[in-house]
């Protein structure tokens, strides 16, 4: 079973993403903050992590780098979730270890298509 972590301070975004992604093949876990995400990642590696670009407790690029630093190999696929495309932020997130991005608001189709490659790779 694959594991997906949704990191967003909005409970609505987390619940919508969890509802879309949860299945017998996918366990979806939620984190409301960067600190919560680090705690979850330190106890087991999610295969896919979706990180909101604007967390209240931590810079998203710092969080991505810290998560990537937890694992020697077989690192998770991390996607940055942004309200509008910010190329500078996306490049910083990619340097930190992100593999792509998702734009909010997302629909079921957009979220599933954005994760498709990672669902088969992870």
pLDDT tens-place string over residues 83-111: 999 999 999 999 999 999 999 999 999 99
* Domain coordinates in residue numbering, the chain: 2-113
With b meaning 16 or more CB within 10 Å and e meaning fewer, what string describes 73-111?
A: eeebbbbbbbeeeeeebbebbbebbbbebbeeebeeeeb
Are the C-beta atoms of 49 and 28 separated by less than 8 Å? no
pLDDT tens-place string over residues 45-54: 999 999 999 9
pTM (2 d.p.): 0.93
pLDDT confidence of 62, banded at 50, 70, 90? very high
Q: Where are the beta strands (DSSP E) in 1-122?
A: 2-7, 26-31, 48-52, 77-82, 100-103
Q: Spell out the CATH class of 2-113.
A: alpha beta
> How far apart are alpha carbons 68 and 56 in whole angstroms?
20
């Amino acid at each position: 079973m694959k594991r997906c972590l949704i990191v967003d301070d909005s409970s609505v975004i987390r619940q919508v993403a969890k509802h879309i992604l949860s299945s017998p093949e996918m366990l979806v876990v939620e984190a409301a903050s960067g600190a919560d995400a680090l705690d979850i990642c330190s106890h087991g590696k999610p295969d896919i992590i979706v990180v909101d670009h604007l967390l209240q407790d931590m810079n998203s690029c710092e969080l991505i780098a810290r998560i990537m630093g937890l694992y020697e190999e077989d690192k998770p696929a991390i996607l940055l979730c942004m309200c509008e495309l910010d190329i500078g932020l996306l490049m910083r997130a990619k340097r930190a270890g992100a593999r792509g991005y998702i734009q909010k608001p997302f629909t079921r189709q957009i979220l599933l298509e954005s994760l498709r490659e990672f669902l088969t790779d992870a």
